Structure 1
Amino acid sequence: MVISKHKRNNLFYFEQNYQKHFVLFFFFVQTQGSGGNSSILVTGFTFAKKHSMLLVADGGATKIDWAWTLDAGETAFAETGGFNPTYGNADLGEKLKKELADLPHPAGRMELYYYGAGCRAPEAVGRARAVLQAVWPQAEVNVFDDLLGAARATCGTQPGIVCILGTGSNSMCFDGEKVVDQIPNLGVLLGDEGSGAHIGKELLRAYFYREMPDHIRQLLSPQLPGGRDEFIKTLYAQSNAGSFLASFVKLVAGLKSDAWVNGLVQSCLEEFVQRHVLKYPGAASLPVHFCGSIAWHFGSQLDAVLQKHSLRKGKVLRKPIAELFKFHLNNASSQPFTSDRKNS
């Protein structure tokens, strides 16, 4: 299969050619959604055969990556704003529905696999499914924890330790088919070690406690014009505090080689490895895979921590969506998520 991406002004289209199938063209116009979230508007597509459409999503609190097809081998990608049904409210659900309205809506049969942050408790799974089903009433909607998506994208059907380091963090031990052990994720208030929210929290603590060098302080000062009182007011007004805290990491992302930034990030990653990865029996003998923007952007800091503990680094994916979509194309009869996890 050959995938090519073309851009003219704001017009994007993907074309894929493969034997014994017709060629499908998708045309996209990049738009600006409400709240600053980007979305993709499908303006037209043509196809020669009628098949069940496959739509796969990897959803985080900040953004959701989508991949879809009308036949094996015909693939397109898009990004919308994020959603965490654990913390989400009705407004977030309605906002997401508006963004999803821009994605394809075939008249025929459709299979949707949504792997989302916070999609573990039955109530959260039901909330996410209701939002998706309202957008695609004809679809067979399957909702799973984003950890299963990360496992399928990195491990495939092989055993390994799977970690997510994005806005939040999570981990598990995977035997190639199911979760066999998981250190619990305690969320943004008590956990999320090594995540963007954790690093952002440590940056802000250092800023207000006067524990950071002046050249870093100058980067944060324009973002905190109202000082402590205004910041606290804004923080507690957030519907998603994790995304808000993680947004401050972008201010220092370009200073990875700075000694102070390097030390702060490495200490957060060290805490994640200590509290999660090293707790799994046999961690030293299994590949340790990572998904998420923090693992991707701070790869050298992550390497240093893993080497310190003689851990074997596996795949590191900024976005698991492409590999996750391939998994579904290659495993059309994927079994429902099962777990023998120990989670105490």
Structure 2
Amino acid sequence: MVQSILIADSGATKTAWRLLENGKLIDFHTSGISPYHMSQSQIENLIREEFPKKILTKSISHVYYYGTGCKTSIKARIVARALATFYDDANIHITHDLMGAAIATCGNKAGITCILGTGSNSCFYNGKKIVTNSPGLGYVLGDEASGAYFGKLLVQHFLYKKFDQALEKAFVKQFNLNKDEILHKVYRESFPNRFLANFAQFLSAHRGHYIIENIIEDGLREFFGTHLIRYPQIEKMPVHFVGSIAFHFQDKIDELCNVYGFHLGQILKDPMEGLTKFHQLRSGSKKK
């Protein structure tokens, strides 16, 4: 019997999906899924509206879902039940996105894995499971060096008028938002973390400006100092990074690893390739 395996890597902003069937790969994306902010019915509606029709009607044997907010069994069940609405015959496995990042970067070896995307997180992985975790506290209290964290700093600089004239002009031109509009979106609309993370693209577009470089370095130092130094294993193990923020600012991460004496491992924009290889090996299938 041919296995059809559906893999998901879900963050707060977007979800990457990959179908493995008969050695072939089909990729598609949807909006992010977070059981902390979405009900089962909302997740079902997202799947119904954003999945390609040919995927919705497929017979899926296994679903491996790695998603933000799925660390607890209660939250994981919300996602599992939503997926079971469409794939009731599938074996559905739900775990958090940090496990997916650890598998993608470490495989069956031990290491420290970090996520720097819309949110941030980190763990020590022993090659089989996550042993210790220095978690982010969400975009309000923590998530140091995440997209939402950097977006918040940029908005503060703009609203407090800490940008120089050139940066302020560029910020207004790119986003065309005033103070009232920003505050309304942050405090009154849904998914303010996504809204804030969207500003992080401004950092990449203005690399080299001293204010921007200081924001990037300060945010990454906060993450290193708050989380990474808490792992005693980091003296002997490689530290890996996954996520768009890590990928775009890998030069700064490399510099800071040298400063702290950490051994830098992989920096991946997303974990999908690593997860694909892992599940192909487990199922015995090969890419065509």
Q: Please tell me whether Structure 1 or Structure 2 has the larger radius of gyration of its CA atoms.
A: 1
Partner of residue 198 from structure 1, selected from 132, 149, 152: 149
Q: Distance in 2 between matches of 1:62 and 1:226?
A: 20
Partner deviation per Cα, 1:34-66 (whole Å, 9 max, x = no partner): xxxxxxxxxxxxxxxx51211111111111111
Residue 243 of structure 2 is aligned to residue 292 of structure 1: yes
Q: For residue 166 of structure 1, report the CA deviation from its aligned partner.
A: 0.3
Which whole-Å CA distance do the structure 2 matches of 1:322 and 1:252 have between them? 26
Matches within 5 A, 1:251-262: 251-262=202-213
2:10–2:32: 8 Å Cα contact kept in structure 1?
yes
- Distance in 2 (CA, whole Å) between partners of 1:297 and 1:162 is 17
**1:67–1:76 contact (8 Å) kept in structure 2:** yes
Query: What TM-score comes out, normalization by structure 1 length?
Result: 0.78
> Matched residues in 1 for 2:57 and 2:21: separation?
9
Contact 2:147 2:245 in 1 (8 A): yes
Q: Say which of 214, 219, 224 aligns to 2:165.
A: 214
Cross-structure match for 1:41: none
Distance 2:88 2:46 in 1: 18
Indicate yes or no: 2:28 matched with 1:78: yes
TM-score, L = length of structure 2: 0.92
**1:270 matched residue in structure 2:** 221
More helix by share: 2
Which piece of structure 1 moves more, 300-309 or 289-298? 300-309
Which whole-Å CA distance do the structure 1 matches of 2:157 and 2:59 have between them?
54
The answer to whether the Cα contact below 8 Å between 2:15 and 2:31 also exists between their aligned partners in 1 is yes
Gaps of 5+ in 2: none
Of 132, 144, 151, the match for 2:102: 151
Would the aligned equivalents of 1:52 and 1:108 in 2 still touch at CA under 8 Å?
no
Where 1:75 maps in the other structure, the secondary structure is strand
Aligned residue runs from structure 1 range 76-115, under 5 A:
76-89=26-39, 90-91=41-42, 93-102=44-53, 104-105=55-56, 108=59, 110-115=61-66
Q: What does 1:1-344 align with in structure 2 at a 5 Å threshold?
A: 51-71=2-22, 73-89=23-39, 90-91=41-42, 93-102=44-53, 104-105=55-56, 108=59, 110-222=61-173, 227-332=178-283
1:258 shift after superposition: 2.2
1:190-233 alpha-carbon deviations (Å, 9 max, x no partner) = 01001000000001111111212221111222466563233211
Deviation of 1:112 (Å): 0.5
| Aligned mates of 1:100, 1:59 — CA distance in 2 | 14
Secondary structure class of the residue paired with 1:249 = helix
Counterpart residue identity of residue 87, structure 1:
H
For structure 1, which runs of at least 5 residues remain unmatched after alignment?
Answer: 1-49, 334-344
* 2:72 alignment partner AA: A
Q: Which residue of structure 2 aligns with residue 340 of structure 1?
A: none
Q: More displaced, 195-204 or 243-252?
A: 243-252
For structure 1, which segment, 315-324 or 92-101, has the greater mean C-alpha deviation from structure 2 after superposition? Answer: 92-101
| 133-142 or 168-177, which deviates more | 133-142
Deviates more, 1:247-256 or 1:272-281: 247-256
Report how many residues are paired: 283
Considering Cα pairs closer than 8 Å and 6+ residues apart, tell me whether 1 or 2 has the greater RCO. 2
Structure 1 distance, partners of 2:59, 2:199, is: 43
